[in-house]
Amino acid sequence: MIRMLALPLLLAVPAVAWAADPQPFPPLSVTLPQSDSLYPGGASADAINNNCLACHSVEMVQMQPPLGRAGWTAEVAKMRGTYHAPVDDADVPAIIAYLVARDAAAQPPTSSPTQSK
């Protein structure tokens, strides 16, 4: 009988001691960076501004390498599927089109080699 009572008492002692003298964590303050940047392009950027800025800064996306239509389609699908980004189905084509156009604008113009005589 004493053995049966000993275990609950042993378990209760640390709980009572902790409750009597809790060791709270000190307050922590975190300041997140603020950005008022929007994706350029006016109305063509509405879908990306309304959906993607919740998690990604303009600068972060603009630093990404060109992925092409297939790559951006896969990225948007990953954001929606894996990370549960609340992007409406109707906005997906506009987001992908914006990112593909961004890739095209970032590519240096190709020039034909000059012909020497």
DSSP-H helix ranges across the chain: 2-20, 46-51, 58-62, 68-81, 92-106
The whole-model pTM stands at: 0.64
The residue behind tokens 């993607």 is: 52
CATH class of the domain defined by 43-106? mainly alpha
Domain-by-domain residue ranges, the chain? 43-106
Cα 49 from Cα 2, distance rounded (Å) = 68
Residues 12-70 pLDDT 10s: 666 555 555 667 788 888 776 677 889 999 999 999 999 999 889 998 888 999 999 99
Angle at alpha carbon of residue 12, lines to 6 and 17, rounded to 5°: 130
